[in-house]
Structure 1
């Protein structure tokens, strides 16, 4: 069990780093004329192509699971993939990156309170201490003082946080017989389809350019930047889902806060944006917060709500017996062992 937890933490940290690595690459592409719509489209399309063969191989003999859980796959693609990325990039149009990221990173707090309300299981004191410590670290790193807030953009950033909650909660569902690589590949395919469907509507601007992209002082062709972006995104979601199934949504969501100091490091290497002393102190606070959360989970396992809406819908439509109906009415509770 300890080896599984250690591996889950390592995979989640790798996922956070890959998510952080994709941010500066996207920012470098914006600098030469790309728009968020175009970047998100090629990002998801590239991921879907990269993961197509591994998805087919992993789902050999398991396609019945996709038919049974197709709603979850669609929600994962639309909400956990498109929603997180698109809402965040739209919020950045009217907010500073720091404020938008800080609002999005309230997702772990939302998960803890959501689990608390749904299960009635009060988080351990160490969990509360970790929440406060981690969020203080985020404030120190992002330093949003003096920023002008745009109400609509704030709501968009909070919407990205809600979508991020869906990413953690869906990814942590171990009762779905869909391997992580397949869930990621199918979700990317759904997400790419959504972005393609939005293109002709004019809701989003899709601007592409073939101008070389400057990455850390080295100019690379646009297709290299897109390839790096797609590879980092695919790896981030894949390792993220694998880690989620090992350590659960609550712990994983707080470990994911390390994306912020990782972003500072990668931005320093790629964009020459040097971190300050306060940012380094904030990174230490985040790591300390993750440790407190882990201690809290170990001493008092958090009860997570696992709702299989697909099974409930099938039971209702097939006229299942009283026992099945009762199971559908009462959410199944799964204890996450820290």
Structure 2
């Protein structure tokens, strides 16, 4: 009974995280269309979230010295790279298209694992990727020579590539990958037979790995520093944030959209995502994260008037179905706990439970 309640709470948190992430593009695009540079919007999002989580970073101030590669990797790839390229994409193509292109991440990661690392992958994962790639052909209408701006599609594809590098870094870090952003773990579980060494882990204590919230807090600081070099935030027209910005049929203050992006689409999304992964198995959390694309596309449809048409809608359904098939087929899904005999005491001290490096 308790296990069922924990699972239900985890699913609820994962849904909240996915919905929060999905609303990011819809809130950011009006700011971009009002004259703000995409990189300026990204900088405000990341810097604002870093400021909110600064107390956590100060509490775990030794973490960057113990895990510099993990913190820098998550900051540059998992946050700065993905977010900057995604926002550059939505400035040129519809939000729904951009977020669906990001779902090529599992296919790219699978190709890396199979052909570069030469490791086995499950047949179900391959089937899911084939569905996702086929659906993407419908999304971009490949038979008409790409129906959307090539630069925008390239930026969205670049965001997917950043996710692959981010996943690989998390895999090499083993259980230190606990800080991974649950709304972005599309490719978790594509390996054959990797039951509990996924890219995420429920542990957050200092013995089993760094606190995932602390990694996120420090990664946001790294991302803020990196984006400051390219975004030049001193050129932001701060007074324009007090002006009204069109959002569908209504006008809202620009500062309100920035606050929504920072507090809901970043802080709430990350924290609820981490808590969800702690209560669910990583594959289940990743499947629920597919809701992000649906939320983003639906909100863009109703609030921004971005009607995708029948082919992209069908393609998006195939993309989500592919991600679902690839991840629900993971052999490492966590079973319901049941009664078990007490384990025999080891004759020698047990080895630390570390995931194998990738």
Q: How many residues align?
A: 300
Distance (whole Å) between structure 2 residues aligned to residue 177 and residue 299 of structure 1: 21
Matches within 5 A, 1:224-303: 224-231=256-263, 232-243=265-276, 246-248=280-282, 256-274=289-307, 276-298=309-331
SS at match of 1:106: helix
For the pair 1:27 / 2:29, whether they are aligned, the reply is: yes
Say whether 1:108 aligns with 2:98: no
Q: Distance in 2 between matches of 1:199 and 1:110?
A: 28
Aligned residue number for residue 218 of structure 1: 250
Do the aligned partners of 1:33 and 1:207 also contact (CA within 8 Å) in 2?
Answer: no
Q: Does residue 333 in structure 1 map to residue 335 in structure 2?
A: no
Alignment of 1:144-183 (within 5 A): 145-147=144-146, 156-168=155-167, 169=170, 170=177, 171=180, 172-174=199-201, 177-183=209-215
CA distance in 1, matches of 2:300, 2:332: 37
Shift of 1:69: 0.8
Deviation at 1:266, TM superposition (A): 0.9
Which of 40-49 and 280-289 deviates more?
A: 280-289
Residue in structure 2 matching 1:83, options 81, 84, 93: 81
- Is the 2:89–2:98 Cα contact (8 Å) retained in structure 1? yes
Q: 1:146 Cα deviation (Å)?
A: 3.9
- Closer, same or farther in 2 for the Cα pair 1:239/1:101, shift >3 Å? same
Query: 1:274-298 CA deviation, whole Å, 9 max, x = no partner?
Result: 4544454445434433442234203
Q: Distance in 1 between matches of 2:97 and 2:313?
A: 18
Q: For 1:4 and 1:118, locate their aligned partners in 2 and report how far apart those are by CA, in whole Å.
A: 38
Q: CA RMSD in A?
A: 3.9
Shift of 1:224: 0.7
CA distance in 1, matches of 2:75, 2:122: 33
Distance between the aligned counterparts of 1:154 and 1:277, measured in 2? 19
* Paired residues of 1:20 and 1:263 also in contact (CA < 8 A): yes
C-alpha change, 1:67 and 1:77, in structure 2 (3 Å) is same
Secondary structure of the 2:23 match is helix
- Deviation of 1:44 after TM superposition, in Å, equals 0.8
Q: Is 2:25–2:95's contact at 8 Å kept on the other side of the alignment?
A: no
Structure 1: segments with no counterpart, 5+ residues: 302-330
The Cα shift of 1:36 comes to 0.7
Matches within 5 A, 1:179-198: 179-198=211-230
Alignment TM-score, normalising by the size of structure 1:
0.71
Higher helix share: 1
Task: Report the Cα offset of residue 229 of structure 1.
Answer: 1.0
- 3-state SS in 1 of match to 2:251: strand
Contact conserved, 1:123 with 1:296, CA < 8 A, in 2? no
Mind listing any 5+ residue stretches in structure 2 that lack a counterpart? 171-176, 181-198, 335-353
Which SS does the other structure have where 1:214 is aligned?
A: strand
Q: Which SS does the other structure have where 1:298 is aligned?
A: coil
Residue 17 to residue 143, structure 1, CA distance change in 2 (3 Å): farther
Is it true that 1:132 corresponds to 2:130 in the alignment?
yes
Shift of 1:93: 6.0
For the structure 1 residues 299 and 44, does the alpha-carbon distance in structure 2 shift closer, same or farther, using more than 3 Å as the test?
Answer: closer
CA distance in 1, matches of 2:89, 2:51: 28
Q: Is the 8 A contact 2:73 2:166 kept in 1?
A: no
> Which shows bigger deviation, 101-110 or 6-15?
6-15
**Contact 2:92–2:149, Cα closer than 8 Å, also in 1:** yes
